[in-house]
Amino acid sequence: MRKKLSDMVPGERGRVFRVDGEIRRRLMDMGIVRGATVELVRRAPLGDPVEISVRGYNLSLRGSEAEKVHVEIYDSSETEMDDTEALRRDEWDVRRDE
């Protein structure tokens, strides 16, 4: 199942498959790249910001930033993609975009 990071519930995990908008480069610098595993850790009481876990560290994103990240939610039977493989795939996509 695919959904936006902003629509995930705490504890849900998935693989990033697309990042939209001008914020893309900034999010890539933080490790949110295609193929990276992300987990929604928690939401602020009013829903904004959200705390996520990515590449072994936690960070907070505004709701408007989380809205730009599209995630393929893991089924319980799926295995995670190695982050190195995800980074290689994303570098290829960046070169293709230039």
pLDDT at 47: 78
Question: How far is residue 40's CA from residue 25's CA, in Å, rounded to a whole number?
Answer: 21
Taking 70 as the pLDDT cut, the residues of the chain under it are 76-98
pLDDT at 75: 79
pLDDT at 2: 93
| DSSP code for 8 | -
Of the candidates 34, 83, 18, 27, the residue with the CA atom closest to the CA atom of residue 60: 27
- Which domains are assigned to the chain? 2-97 (2.30.30.90)
pLDDT at 49: 93
